């Protein structure tokens, strides 16, 4: 296991590229992505793991980046909203008007993109469970549900 005792370089694999960041052992992945790599598509909204706005994919699975240290991401594939291009989820969010201010949207897109990849046949119960962690204050959630169903081809 990679050990980190002091500030130092970390090699991260982000959106298919190898990137080196100089981080503290206590820097969260969220902090490293935004402040060191300028990947500001991933947003910060609570830093307590209660809103899922900062969700990124680790080896294809959604993870709250405020609850993961940058050092823990070493050796894993990190994918952020900037690495998700042309996903059917994005098309569906556009078609269904499933966002307003756009602040929580990257978290939804990333989560739903993983759902699409890992559970292409997801039933309602699975969809609801997967998305129950993401908070949105602008929409009625109904349009987000419609968008996810559309992306799943339903």
Partner 1 sequence: MGAVGTGVPRKEAKDKVTGNIKFVGDYISPGLMHARLVTGTYAHALLKNIQTAAAWRVPGVKAIVTGKDCSFLTGAYLEDRPPLAADKVRYYGEPVALVVADSELAAKQGAEEVRIEYEPLPAVNSVHDALRPGAPRIHENLGEYRRVKPVFPETNSNIADRVKVRKGDMGKGWAGSEITVEASFHLPQSDHVAMETRCVRAEIAPDGRVTIHSSSQAPFVIRKLISRYFLIDTGKITVIVPAVGGSFGGKAAVQLELLAYMASQAVGGRQVKLVNTREQEIISSPGRIGLDAEVRLGATKEGQLMAAEITYLVDGGAYSDIGAVMTKSIAADCTGPYKIDNVQCDALCVYTNHPYTTSYTGFGHASYTFAIERTLDMLAKKLKMDPWQLRRMNAIAPGDTSPTLTGLTTSNLGDTGKCLDRVKQLINWDEGQVVTGQDGKIRAKGLSALWKTSSTPTDARSGAILTFNPDGSLNIGVGAVEIGQGSKTNLAVMAAERLKMDVGKVHVMMEVNTHAHPEHFKTVASMTTFMAGRAVLEACDDIIHQLLSMASIVLRCSPEDLDVAGGRVFLTDNPNMYVDITELVHGYKYENGNSIGGQVIGRGSYIMRHLTEMDPETGKGNVGPGWTVGAEAVEVEFDPGDFTYKMLKAVAVLDAGKVINPRIAQAVVMGRMNMGLSLANREGLIYSGSGVVENASLRDYKIMRFAEQPQYTVEFIETPQIDAPYGARGLGEHGLIGMPAALGNALSAAARVELNQLPLLPETIWSVKEGRP
By CB under 8 A, which span of 11-19, 45-53, 70-78, 114-122 interacts with partner 1? 45-53
Helices (H) and strands (E) in the chain, counts: 5, 5
By CB under 8 A, which span of 14-22, 69-77, 85-93, 114-122 interacts with partner 1? 85-93
Q: Which residues pair with 19 in a beta bridge?
A: 12
The CB-side HSE value for 30 (13 A sphere, CA atoms) comes to 19
Tracing tokens 């759902």 back to the chain, one arrives at 115
The yes or no reply on residue 34 touching partner 1 (CB under 8 A) is yes
Spatial contact of 73 and 11, defined as CB atoms under 8 Å apart: no
The yes or no reply on residue 77 touching partner 1 (CB under 8 A) is no
Query: What residues make contact with partner 1 under the rule CB under 8 A?
Result: 24, 34-35, 38, 40-48, 50-51, 53, 80-82, 84-85, 90, 93-94, 97, 99-106, 109, 128, 131-145
């Amino acid at each position: 296991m990679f050990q980190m005792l002091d500030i130092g370089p970390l090699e991260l694999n982000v959106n298919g590229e190898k990137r080196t960041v100089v981080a503290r052992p206590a820097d969260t992945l969220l902090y490293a992505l935004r402040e060191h790599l300028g990947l500001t598509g991933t947003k910060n909204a609570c830093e307590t793991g209660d809103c899922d706005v900062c969700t990124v994919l680790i080896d294809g699975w959604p993870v709250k980046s405020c609850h993961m240290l940058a050092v823990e991401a070493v050796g894993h594939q990190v994918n952020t909203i900037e690495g998700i291009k042309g996903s059917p989820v994005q098309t569906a969010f556009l078609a269904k008007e499933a966002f307003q201010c756009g602040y929580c949207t990257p978290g939804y897109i990333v989560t739903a993109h993983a759902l699409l990849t890992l559970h292409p046949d997801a039933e309602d119960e699975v969809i609801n469970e997967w998305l129950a962690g993401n908070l949105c204050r602008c929409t009625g959630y109904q349009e987000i549900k419609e968008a996810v169903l559309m992306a799943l081809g339903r």
